[in-house]
Structure 1
């Protein structure tokens, strides 16, 4: 028995709310991305597999995937430098779709046949972006052609919008956590230099900074070495 449109959207809204709470509970960026693609296969009707990729300096980087076939599809887009999700990231287009991979496709004439060989019949790509940043693309795959109708495309765009916010928030949290850890290690290292060698706070920081520059090592790594050994870096102050 088919569902009425109102019932479909009500069920989707409940699932989306559950997804939002689930993504908020994840402890890392990778956990967040892994859960996004898992939710996509549940919430988007007809979606058999899902993945998230990004393009940096022309190179496709797979960030999450529900199956190896998705990773293969990402690799094909990288090798051919062609495909809807590659274009979604590179050209900042919000939505791309291939309804029937069995038919010749003028825009992605090389990519479509390769994806068909992997057993896929149709796909969609959605740009993951916030107001300030382009994060990647969410890719949805179906083994059947003409699976993703207008309702599925609209639902995919809504899901991708929520996923982008969760992705951005998780990344910001990770960056802040890293910054706090770095600040703590630097402060601890400065404390060691001040206590053991009688340096002022300003001089202790200069020792760290100069050692970082002289050895081309990040300041945090210099601080970690001092915390582990208690020894002052061998770079003399000018």
Structure 2
């Protein structure tokens, strides 16, 4: 781990970003799997932007609800859901109002008195969210970037984050058909159900349950959505017996 970080730090930031952008750009070539492309964008953002440890996408639906897509892990999913539950936070504010929302110290920002301390308790120190719009007002949302330390968001973070948000807008613009968006939201829902089932069945926390699904996906060379579908289907079958 220490060796890999040293290798990464030896590479100039602009080269890391250029490589990440090239990989994402290649994924935008049709035919495109929306889930995989969005996941690639959030993972690339978390891996290449200094200080950022997790990323996600908040997306609005036609009914006015906000959902999370392509989270890089269960903690960032929980942080997003807290904002939806509490009705406050950078994700909501960026998706619905301001183009860019920067929070230097989540634990002590007066704008988010309920969400901020709860996010800090999850291990996040600062956050930035970027609004995007693709395919009209029904496809609008925010790229959410979470840092582990307070005051970790600087000018470079904002510039790079804006570039990744632009790629999300492109991806969603290409795949803005209602059916595709519905499938993406359904994937997020079924993965969440599968995580909950595994937590109860094997007495795991959310991180271990999520990692369990990922390992099953990798070892069987099967998409994560299909693994989650199988877990949920088995649970439903057992419940009917």
Q: Secondary structure at the match of 1:66?
A: coil
1:76 alignment partner in structure 2: 82
Structure-2 residue corresponding to 1:99? 104
1:58-73 → structure 2 map (5 Å cutoff): 58-73=64-79
User: Which runs of 4 or more aligned residues in structure 1 lie more than 6 Å from their structure 2 counterparts after TM superposition?
Assistant: 1-4
Match of 1:31 among 36, 46, 63: 36
Query: Shift of the alpha carbon at 1:128?
Result: 2.1
State the match for 1:9 in structure 2: 14
Post-superposition Cα deviations, 1:147-193, rounded to whole Å, max 9, x if no partner, equal 12111111101111122112221334966xx9xxxxxxxxxxxxxxx
d(CA) in 1 for partners of 2:152, 2:81: 24
When residues 29 and 11 of structure 1 are mapped into structure 2, their CA distance, relative to the original with a 3 A threshold, is: closer
User: 8 Å contact 1:16–1:43 — kept in the other structure?
Assistant: no
Name 1:169's counterpart in structure 2.
Answer: 174
- In structure 2, the partner of 1:159 is 164
Q: Does 1:121 align with 2:125?
A: yes
Structure-2 change in CA distance of 1:159 and 1:117 (3 Å): same
Task: Measure, in 1, the Cα distance between the counterparts of 2:135 and 2:34.
Answer: 19
3-state secondary structure, aligned to 1:33: helix
Superposed displacement of residue 25, structure 1: 6.1
Deviation at 1:114, TM superposition (A): 0.9
Q: What's the C-alpha RMSD, in Å, of the aligned pairs?
A: 2.7
Distance 2:66 2:178 in 1: 24
**Are 2:121 and 1:90 aligned?**
no
> Which has more radius of gyration?
1
Secondary structure of the structure 2 residue equivalent to 1:24 = coil
Deviation at 1:26, TM superposition (A): 6.7
In structure 2, list runs of 5 or more residues that go unmatched: 1-5, 184-241
Q: How many residues align?
A: 172
Q: Pick one of 146, 164, 185 that aligns with 2:151.
A: 146
Stretch of structure 1 that moved more, 64-73 or 24-33: 24-33
Q: Does the CA contact (< 8 Å) of 1:32 and 1:167 recur in 2?
A: no
SS in 2 for 1:147: coil
What is the TM-score when the length of structure 2 is the normalising length? Answer: 0.63
SS in 2 for 1:45: coil
